[in-house]
């Protein structure tokens, strides 16, 4: 049972444009959502997070939106840069002890 779903395995975007990565979840008990970025041969690194009491969190070029009624969140990257090319994982947890990850979306940013 996949509680966190990233339905797009890959996404290709032109440099300078917006990248939108989507994530859906099924467990209404999740109260914290995170995005991680992973480059080849490295472990994932934390990117940005959002608490379930908010609907938006912004950090520089990265913004995460949360729609609790739709159980959907998205990560916006504006403007996209070639260095953003990586696999992005959506994750969710309750209380921080057990984190459930999605399958990941591979982002390609073309120069």
For strand 86-93 and strand 105-110, is the pairing parallel, antiparallel, or unpaired? antiparallel
Which C-beta is closer to other proteins: that of 22 or that of 79?
22
**Distance between CA 108 and CA 80 in Å, rounded?**
10
Query: How near is the Cβ of 76 to other proteins at its closest, in Å?
Result: 20
Whether the Cβ atoms of residue 91 and residue 35 lie closer than 8 Å to each other: yes
Shortest separation between residue 81's beta carbon and other proteins, angstroms: 22
Q: Give the binding site for other proteins (CB under 8 A).
A: 4, 6, 9, 32, 34, 36, 41-46, 49, 89, 91, 93, 95-104
Nearer to other proteins, 34 or 86 (CB): 34
Shortest separation between residue 16's beta carbon and other proteins, angstroms: 29
Is 71 within 8 Å of 5 (Cβ atoms)? no
Which residue, 21 or 34, is less far from other proteins as judged by CB?
Answer: 34
Let me know: does 36 contact 45? Beta carbons within 8 Å: yes
């Amino acid at each position: 049972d996949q509680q966190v779903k990233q339905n797009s395995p890959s996404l290709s975007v032109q440099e300078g444009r917006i990248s939108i990565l989507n994530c859906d979840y099924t467990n209404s008990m999740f109260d914290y959502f995170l995005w991680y970025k992973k480059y080849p041969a490295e472990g994932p690194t934390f990117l940005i997070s959002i608490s379930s009491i908010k609907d938006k969190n912004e950090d520089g070029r990265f913004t995460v939106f949360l729609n609790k009624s739709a159980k959907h969140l998205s990560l916006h990257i504006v403007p996209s840069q070639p260095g953003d090319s990586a696999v992005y994982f959506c994750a969710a947890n309750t209380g921080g002890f057990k984190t459930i990850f999605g399958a990941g979306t591979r982002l390609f940013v073309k120069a």
